Every structure is written in C-alpha cells, then in structure tokens.
Structure 1
Amino acid sequence: MYKNLEIWKESVDLIKRIYKIAASLPKEEDYNIKSQLRRAVISVALNIAEGKCRHSAKDFAHFLNLSVSSLNEVNAILNICEELEFLKNIDEIYNKINILSRRISALRTKLLKLK
C-alpha cells in the first residue's frame, strides 16, 4: 500500500509545508502562482499513490518519474517566487525537495532494474 512508503509520507509532509508557504503569497496570486504551486505539490503524492497500485515495476517507475517532474515544477515555482520577492530564506524547503527527489529517483532506478 502506498501509505506505507516513506516517499509517500515525505510527500505529504512537503504538501503541508508548501501549503503554508502558498498561504503567505500575495492575495493577487490566488489563481496563478499559488494555485499552480498547490497543484504541483499534490501531484507528487498522487503519482506515487497511483504508481504503487500499478501491476508492473515499469509502470510504477513511470509514475515515480512524473513525481520527480512535479517536484521540479514546485522547485521552479518557488524560484520564481523568490525572483518576484514574494519569498526569501527558503533553503530548508529546497533541501527537502532535493532529498525527496533523490529518494524517489533511487526507488525508480531500483524498480527499472527489476524488469
């Protein structure tokens, strides 16, 4: 079950952190950056869950790849927010994103070796 995966648990923790960050963004960004940031971070967890229920390692690996892509999107949005001076001092969240990305990628690599 996906709920037992450490990467799932870490992705849910990241969702909570990103939602707090999104809440601090300007009100005029509710339907732009804020919405896109929330969708991207949720996509990480949803792809892990969907991939886990697939019947092959190759399929699961594909969904893990989508999760990593969503993490890259979250990272890019946060970078844009910094450039727009909406956020600052978020190195900790970048670190968490990088660690989760490496863990998901490692599992993906392991799964692809099973085929």
Structure 2
Amino acid sequence: MSFKFEKLIISQKSMDFGETIFKLSQNFPKDEAYNLTSQIRRASDSIALNISEGSILQSKPEFKKFLGYAIRSLAETVTCLYKAKNRNYISEEEFNFMYNESYNLMNQIIAFRNQLKD
C-alpha cells in the first residue's frame, strides 16, 4: 500500500531537492535563522507538500492548481538562493548547481501538469 504521490517522480525529486536545500542552509549565519534560513526551508519543503496534497484530490483541475503552488514555491526558493549568493552564504558553484536543479525540477513539474487532462 502506498500513497499516489509516492510513485510520482516529481514528488521524489522535490523531496530530495528540499533535503539538499536544508543541508545547504545549515551553513547560513545564525542571525539568519528566523529570516532567510527559515524562508528557504519552508519554500523548498512546500514544493513536495503541495505535490502530495494535490495528488490526493479527485479533481484534476484542483491537482493542477496545487502543482502551480509547487512551481511558485520553487520560484520563491530560487529567489532565496539569489539572496544567499548575494550575501555570500553560498558559493557561485553551489548557486549554479541548485539553480540548475531548480530549473530541471520546474520543467518536470510543468510537463507533468501539462499531461493531466481535465
């Protein structure tokens, strides 16, 4: 027995993405704990949370709406990555890696959403 979202590649990848962001943000300064660190963790976790929440809905338009929320959370995460890079909390290399991961995940979520028929 399993939940529908557990079988979705976008769900698995978004879970991994969130864990990578969590590890990366552990090196942020302590004075960012309630600001950027918290924000980037909540935004990246929200990607997987919206995918799983939307997957249990019977309505495909509703699921698409939650996939849209996941994409918005991903965009928020990318903005936080820019903030972290600009504040020198992450290296250019770390930023580029996570940016590419973000871009790939976004395209996978969009492709999945486009495959859903109303």
Q: C-alpha separation between the residues in 2 aligned to 1:60 and 1:66?
A: 10
The gaps in structure 2 that reach 5 residues or longer are none
Match of 2:102 in 1: 97
- Alignment length (residue pairs): 113
Q: C-alpha separation between the residues in 2 aligned to 1:84 and 1:2?
A: 36
1:1-115 correspondence to structure 2 within 5 Å? 1-88=4-91, 89-90=93-94, 91-111=96-116, 114-115=117-118
Q: What TM-score comes out, normalization by structure 1 length?
A: 0.95
Question: Cα offset for 1:56?
Answer: 1.1
Superposed CA RMSD in Å reads 0.7
The gaps in structure 1 that reach 5 residues or longer are none
Question: Cα offset for 1:63?
Answer: 0.3
Q: What TM-score comes out, normalization by structure 2 length?
A: 0.93
Aligned-pair identity in percent equals 34
Question: Cα offset for 1:41?
Answer: 0.5
Where has structure 1 moved over 6 Å in runs of 4 or more? none
